[in-house]
Structure 1
Amino acid sequence: MSVLPGGVSVSHLRVYDWPAADGVGLVGSGSPHLHVASAEAYLVLAGTGAVHTLDASGFHEHRVGPGSVVRFDPGVVHRAVNDGDLEVLVVMSNAGLPEAGDAVLTFPRAVLADAAAYRAAATLPGAGARDDDLAAAARRRRDLAVEGYRELLDDVARVGPVAATRALHDAAVRLVRPAVPHWQDRWTRTVLAETDASALLLEGLARGVVPGFGAARTSAAQAEPGARRYGMCGRLRVWPSSG
């Protein structure tokens, strides 16, 4: 299946019901993180809760319920907060890049400063791991991100949101920089190709040229089978993408 229209990807998220050390959420919460290249939107399907965000303007709480949409730009720290059966349709720009590692968790400063330590803390057990082991690893990862997030909020109170988020962004860029050439290649072959095709179509229509509708085709796919993945904010049902 080709990337979805506009080069987006979607997933169905059931936010974790694991209580966190900071007591946020009546039921539980996800891992605070940011994306360095991709914008994201949460379309709430069911349940209640909130999305907590942190950017250069400070901390914000967005209360959500069915029908709510919250959108955040690259660089915005966000955390899904579950007050009861919170389910979200997640829409990501740049299909393929989030899966390739453009998300950076808010681990403590010492972990963010060490690429090897960050990878070890962020990576879940591989193929063949028992579900209990995956769940335990995902929860440890979430808890470490919350620990760093609390450290980050202390920095916001001490030096202000601009300086605190700048330090986090600098660390995030250092972590992802080695992967960027691969991302550029992937993005060029998928998202940019989609955009270029739209530009050519509009140019043809403006000149009164019939587009190549004869070559138009339909794609269809089912959600990937099996157990839901352990994502940063909850259990994920995903759809395949050539991105």
Structure 2
Amino acid sequence: MVSDPGPALPHPLPGAIGLSHLSAYDWEAADGVCGGSPHLHLVCTEAYVVTGGRGAVQTLSPDGYRDIPLEPGSVAWFTPGTVHRMVQGGDLRITVLMQNNGLPEAGDAVFTFPPEVLADPEAYAAAATLPPGTGVDAEKAARRRRDLAVEGYLALREALTAGDGGPYREFQRAAARLVRDKVPHWRELWRAGALAAAARTGAQLDALATGGDDYLADATAHRTGPTRLGGFGMCGRRDEYALPGTTLPYEGK
């Protein structure tokens, strides 16, 4: 039996997912690769649906290091704990589908900063936070953040490709420590969003099984558009949408 999920979000997207559009950064990093800031999510699976251009997503996981090509029509997704880095290959454009809408906005992402930054929550917050807006100062801060994440990422990748998974696993542990205090709030968002959406489906199935269809009288349609265009995110310039459950400034993509 599903426990009481609490108050439900009004009319979320299917499965209470999050949605955004990304144009991958074309800034060159220290290793000569153009792209975004490597990071992982703690409790959200993320999917890329490629709508234009070319590129790749580099991942670190217990599977090792992978470089997954991206082209129009490709779909790539990665589970919690997978470090991922979007790579620009030419006009790469992606629609991002994110599990548990609201959790990424509440901080379910940790950059691959070097260990000394991860060990200090104040230093981490200072490095991860961008000034508001889309001006020159925000762009400079986003590039500094990306470069610091790439610095830590390259060390993790080098160790993992050499057969040493210790630094990668320690990064996962450090990420978990950084977000632990946020878990009660995340649980509230999950209960009101993804869990409530699943519970509604269960209630509808129960109604249909017993001859009830009154809930169909609430059928309706919705439309929305981007509320911010070209914001500086983790992976690239991000078009954001105001969806049920997304109530905080986005700390991720």
Distance 2:174 2:180 in 1: 10
The answer to whether the Cα contact below 8 Å between 1:8 and 1:93 also exists between their aligned partners in 2 is: yes
Q: CA deviation at 1:104?
A: 0.5
The answer to whether the Cα contact below 8 Å between 2:42 and 2:109 also exists between their aligned partners in 1 is: yes
Q: Residue 6 of structure 2 aligns with which residue? A: none
Q: Residue 17 of structure 2 aligns with which residue? A: 8
Q: Specify which of 195, 198, 206 is matched with residue 198 of structure 2.
A: 195
Given residue 125 of structure 1, which amino acid in structure 2 is its aligned partner?
P
Q: Specify which of 115, 127, 135 is matched with residue 109 of structure 1.
A: 115
Q: Specify which of 211, 219, 222 is matched with residue 208 of structure 1.
A: 211
Q: Specify which of 228, 239, 242 is matched with residue 240 of structure 1.
A: 242
| Stretches of structure 1 lacking an aligned partner (at least 5 in a row) | none
Normalising to structure 2: TM-score of the pair? Answer: 0.89
Distance 2:119 2:145 in 1: 17
Q: CA deviation at 1:2?
A: 3.6
Q: CA deviation at 1:158?
A: 5.1
Q: Specify which of 144, 154, 160 is matched with residue 156 of structure 1.
A: 160
Q: CA deviation at 1:159?
A: 5.4
Q: 3-state DSSP class of the match of 2:76?
A: strand
User: Are the structure 2 counterparts of residues 130 and 64 from structure 1 closer, same or farther at C-alpha, using a change threshold of 3 Å?
Assistant: closer
> How many residue pairs align between the two structures?
236
User: Are the structure 2 counterparts of residues 130 and 40 from structure 1 closer, same or farther at C-alpha, using a change threshold of 3 Å?
Assistant: closer
Given residue 14 of structure 1, which amino acid in structure 2 is its aligned partner?
S
Distance 2:190 2:161 in 1: 37
CA offsets per residue over residues 63-88 of structure 1, 9 Å max, x none?
Answer: 11100110100100001100100000
Residues 1:174 and 2:180 are matched in the alignment: no
Q: Residue 51 of structure 1 aligns with which residue? A: 57
Q: CA deviation at 1:216?
A: 2.4
Distance 2:226 2:135 in 1: 19
Given residue 50 of structure 2, which amino acid in structure 1 is its aligned partner?
V
Q: Residue 147 of structure 2 aligns with which residue? A: 143
CA offsets per residue over residues 95-138 of structure 1, 9 Å max, x none?
Answer: 00011100100000110111111000000013xx5600000000
CA offsets per residue over residues 197-222 of structure 1, 9 Å max, x none?
Answer: 01111122122322411122222211
CA offsets per residue over residues 123-179 of structure 1, 9 Å max, x none?
Answer: 0013xx560000000000000000000121233245523x33221110011000011
Q: Residue 86 of structure 1 aligns with which residue? A: 92
Distance 1:235 1:153 in 2: 25
The answer to whether the Cα contact below 8 Å between 2:58 and 2:67 also exists between their aligned partners in 1 is: yes
| Stretches of structure 2 lacking an aligned partner (at least 5 in a row) | 1-9, 246-253
User: Are the structure 2 counterparts of residues 50 and 98 from structure 1 closer, same or farther at C-alpha, using a change threshold of 3 Å?
Assistant: same
User: Are the structure 2 counterparts of residues 130 and 228 from structure 1 closer, same or farther at C-alpha, using a change threshold of 3 Å?
Assistant: closer
Given residue 19 of structure 1, which amino acid in structure 2 is its aligned partner?
E
Q: How does 1:13-28 map to 2 (within 5 A)?
A: 13-24=22-33, 28=34
The answer to whether the Cα contact below 8 Å between 1:41 and 1:71 also exists between their aligned partners in 2 is: yes
How much is the aligned-residue C-alpha RMSD, in angstroms? Answer: 1.4
Percent identity over paired residues: 47
